[in-house]
Amino acid sequence: MIRPLDIAVVTETFPPEVNGVAMTIGRMVEGMRKRGHAVHMVRPRQPGDPRRDEGLASTTLVPGLPIPGYPALRFGFPAGRLLRRQWRARRPDVVQVVTEGPLGASAVGAARALGIPVVTEFHTNFHAYSRHYGLGWLERLVALHLRRHHNRGDVTLVPSHQLGIDLMRHGYCNVRVVARGVDTRLFHPSRRSAALRASWGVGADDLVVAHVGRLAPEKNLNLAFATFRSLAAHAARARLVLVGDGPSRARFEREHPDHVYAGMRHGEDLAAHYASADLFLFPSLTETYGNVVLEAMASGLPVVAYRMAAAAELIRHGHNGMLAEPGLPGRFAESAHQLVSHPASRARIGAEAAHSVSALDWERIHERLEAVLLATVTTAGSFPGASGRVGLLPD
């Protein structure tokens, strides 16, 4: 019988904030609680939170500030003294640090000082993002910070084997893979809506190309626009639908006014936007995973993506999606053209995409996370990052 754990989860993003990390950690926390574990959250105060912690008995709120360029997201201030006091009074079995900002770094330090096992998570390629915001000179410093941060813990969690191998090559220690799941009851081809397509100005036989995600420089959306232009030249009527928001939205709306900017969508509405499209373009080169690839596939969409992150692990080229090698934008566009030129093949690949991810339910992911946390509590100290051991720990 698995003994219940007392887990302290430290994160600088959490629902109702909308991003892949917030969605993932929200699911993970829910899953651990359903499996009988006690979870105490530590996160920055969000708009709408009570001024005091009343009604949030399982949450510690700390001050934070909006992230530049993303005012809806916040980073937390360091809280090492507060966390040491709390964890002395109620010692958790394990501290799970989700984000690498000031709050997350202070949590790792507090846990190390108290001898509490630490699991960190690698979710975002912040060092790669810096070059897209005119801060390329910071890339090396950020990369060094991230490696030091994660190697202070007992285990670093990554969402894919390829990312784990990449981190290992750059000196990360004790990496374990915990993938991500998808709600296949929510994201399903049956959510397709003729009424929604009509609101976009297209009929049943017209082409709808979709992208879901932040409208931001690091998402490489200029390639999506260029690819769509070449596709639309061979389609009587076509629409590019962009779901999401971000710092580039206003510029995109000025420069590309003919596209549909659907903004943030949630739940069944989001699922309908996926399923009502015909093709999904995902040109990003900065992902650690890419939850939207999984959601698009579950919705029955053929995905065109670069061979990296989730796409590299989930897509078999020509069978349940299309892959292009990073650095070859022409191949990306060519893959999209192949799908548009052969509607029967596109339908077959979309159906196979949905089938291929049908077993990636969240329950299996929660089981995997639980096993890693239990193993970390049991063996903490036998493979600390300071030992210099580098590699993917055995499953």
Q: Is 157 domain-assigned?
A: yes
**Rounded Cα distance, 289 and 122, in Å:** 10
Q: Could you give the CA distance from residue 279 to residue 277 in angstroms, rounded to a whole number? A: 6
Q: DSSP secondary-structure letter at 392?
A: B
Does 343 lie in the same domain as 366?
Answer: no
pLDDT tier at 237 (50, 70, 90 boundaries)? confident
- Lowest model confidence (mean pLDDT) among 57-71, 146-160, 253-267: 57-71
Residue 298: is its pLDDT beyond 60? yes
Task: Mark residue 316 as left, alpha or beta (left: phi above 0; alpha: psi -120 to 50; beta: remaining).
Answer: beta
Domain extent, residue 307, equals: 189-356
| Residue 196 sits in the same domain as residue 329 | yes
Please check the confidence at residue 128 and state whether its pLDDT lies above 90.
Answer: no
Distance CA 359, CA 181 (A): 9
Whether residues 12 and 91 fall in one domain: yes
Give SS3 for 377: helix
Residue 236, pLDDT score: 75
pLDDT of res. 1: 62
Q: Confirm whether 215 is domain-assigned.
A: yes
How many domains does the chain fold into? Answer: 2
Is residue 251 a part of any domain in this protein? yes
pLDDT band at 389 (very low <50, low <70, confident <90, very high): very low
Mean pLDDT of 17-36: 92
| Position 72 confidence tier, pLDDT thresholds 50, 70, 90 | low
Q: What percent of the chain has pLDDT over 70?
A: 88
| pLDDT, position 390 | 44
**Total count of residues recorded for the chain:** 395
* Residue 385: per-residue pLDDT: 43
Residues 306 and 377 in one domain: no
CA end-to-end distance (rounded Å), the chain: 20
Mean pLDDT computed over 377-389: 57
pLDDT digits (tens, 9 = 90+) for 79-99: 999 999 999 999 999 999 999
Strand (E) positions, 17-114? Answer: 38-44, 59-62, 64-67, 70-76, 94-97
93 in the same domain as 217? no
**pLDDT for 64:** 86
Structure confidence at residue 130 (pLDDT): 41
Please report which confidence band the pLDDT of residue 138 belongs to, taking 50, 70 and 90 as the band edges: low
- Angle of helix 291-298 relative to helix 20-34, nearest 10 degrees, comes to 80
Contact between residue 274 and residue 244 where contact means Cβ atoms under 8 Å apart: no
Backbone phi and psi for residue 150, each to the nearest 5 degrees, phi listed first: -75, -35
Q: Are 284 and 220 in contact, with CB atoms under 8 Å apart?
A: yes
Same domain, 174 and 50: yes
Segment 3-22, tens digit of pLDDT: 899 999 999 999 988 888 89
User: Average pLDDT of the chain?
Assistant: 88
With both helix axes pointing from N to C terminus, report the angle between 343-356 and 291-298 in degrees, rounded to the nearest 10. 110
pLDDT of residue 69: 61
Angle among Cα 324, 147, 220 to the nearest 5 degrees reads 30
pLDDT score recorded for residue 323: 97
Q: What is the CATH number of the domain that holds 207?
A: 3.40.50.2000
Instruction: Tell me what pLDDT residue 131 has.
Output: 46
Say if CB 272 and CB 193 are below 8 A apart.
yes
Gap between the Cα atoms of 346 and 302, Å rounded: 7
pLDDT, residue 204, reads 92
**pLDDT (0 to 100) of residue 56:** 59
Please indicate, yes or no, whether residues 159 and 79 belong to a single structural domain of this protein.
yes
Say if 383 falls within a structural domain.
yes
Assess if residue 1 is contained within a domain: no
What gap in Å lies between CA 9 and CA 281, rounded to an integer?
34
* Distance in angstroms (rounded) separating the CA atoms of residues 282 and 279: 10
Q: 43 and 148 share a domain? A: yes
Name residues whose C-beta falls within 8 Å of residue 342's C-beta, 6 or more positions apart in sequence: none
- What is the average pLDDT across 159-178? 90
Confidence (pLDDT) at 54:
47
Is it the case that residue 393 has pLDDT exceeding 90? no
The tens digit of pLDDT for each residue in 330-348 reads 999 999 999 999 999 999 9
Whether residue 32 is found in the same domain as residue 129: yes
* 119 and 199 inside one domain: no
pLDDT band (50, 70, 90) for residue 142: confident
Residues 203 and 349 both lie in one domain: yes
Sign of CA dihedral 310, 311, 316, 320: positive
Mean pLDDT on 235-261? 94
